[in-house]
Structure 1
């Protein structure tokens, strides 16, 4: 059974939480580092702490730049574990942020974070679409090492910047050309997706980076009847095996495609949680089946974020939550975007 642990300050905190969960480093299948500008300025210390914590255990690592944290410290660490650690796949040796280790566990394929770089450094400097396409191509290369095609991608999270917000729709063409296929039900399917804006990238000069998950099980679209997705290159939910991978949810009315509850974090969160619940229900699941929530909160929403705890618990019980601060979201009115995952019991 896969165990998702919430982000905690630093690798020392992650080690303590892993021990409390009765798990060992050898069980890890994925690590996410949420790093502030301060941590990026001293990233060698973060890397050294990670290496000391892992002790030689090869695991895919996603390094995600954030504008801030909702807890102490310059960076936070989120762990995913599977007893025994699943199967290691090495597409190529790690070289800085050009990472090549994957793990396959419980039908989920955990990829490392993908930056627009090769072993020599940044690629396609100044070209947003080319960098984004490169990241998708890299995801396909990594999946190929695991014997899978790009159709195995079930969710992507894109990290871009406020300055390139107007260019973001240009991601649609490479997604349409490189992703998607026919689902297990014979209908078209694209991965779920989220788009997060962070103005200080992990890699200097990066205009787009990517986190992605794949699955060894055939995917199918989960959509509670929202017609807007018929023309988009992502879906509100993708079911593969026992796991439901969901897109990022913001306070956007799916019928009118207009942002709602401008300036009201609690109302936006209620709307978002209800949307997630609708996708869960379409898949035959409940809020109690959610095993991971990542909440990206804009600076304007930070002060009110602690007030969401009771509302979140009412919808999703004790689901692990990692909450971080982003620079902004794709719709300027959004104060929060939530990326969930659920598993059929």
Structure 2
């Protein structure tokens, strides 16, 4: 068979090869650029309360991103992500008071320390999966909460805990923010940029060798082992990456709150975080953004904007989780575009019937 391409076909193939991006990738890049432009330019102009809420949405998107990698990419059900967030908040607060580090270095060091803690938690749980892993990580979250109640967060004191028991907390300095982002609006933009970097790191992992190894482990550990995948190494890698993201998010949250308190973090928050992650979508990075909105934006709308008891949000989470488990395992990040496409085709056919010409072929 003659495999020499004809001049026309060869030129077309060369032109396609010269294109750096295919159509689907180009659309995704444009969507990301538009999303970031809206997040950085438009959203900060809405109001101060909204700016604070969207800052929390960006921070919790990073947390759910790590949880989505563990569950959606590797198949590890972890309920300890809130515990790692607490470790990140505590570590970031302590280092912030103790050392005069530039904020980007503070973020990296906090993430690295939290990463080590996450790996230590993940080591004894490597042989577990499913419900057993979920229970072990939930117990770890409970243990972290007990320790937190005992020592509380640092507030500028001395010693290892960095806490001073003073009745008047008004004179204490809050956790330092970056010098270029001390105001709420500037800090919101700073958090969005850091979150975008974390999403880029996750994308590089998912598209690279770790992502392929994680997919093999999720589908079948025996098959992955037979294919030469180092299961222990890549599971620890996933724990390390998710823990690093939780540490970075914790440091950002500490600077946003100013003076974190132990009452702000409860063990049951781990269950809520897993629920919103499943609702958002564990197989798509966009699902982490949806989960962040569910986690922080919905309670704000219920309590502040609509004057409704925010506990009703838990009912919505339960209904959403049930719907995801039964009909939409990909979550809203995958199901919503499909539903909108089906609705668009239905409307298009309806318009064709009304005009009498029929729906045009695509």
Q: Shorter-chain TM-score category?
A: under 0.3
Bigger fraction of residues in helix = 2
Higher relative contact order, structure no. (Cα contacts within 8 Å, ≥ 6 residues apart): 2
Larger Rg: 2
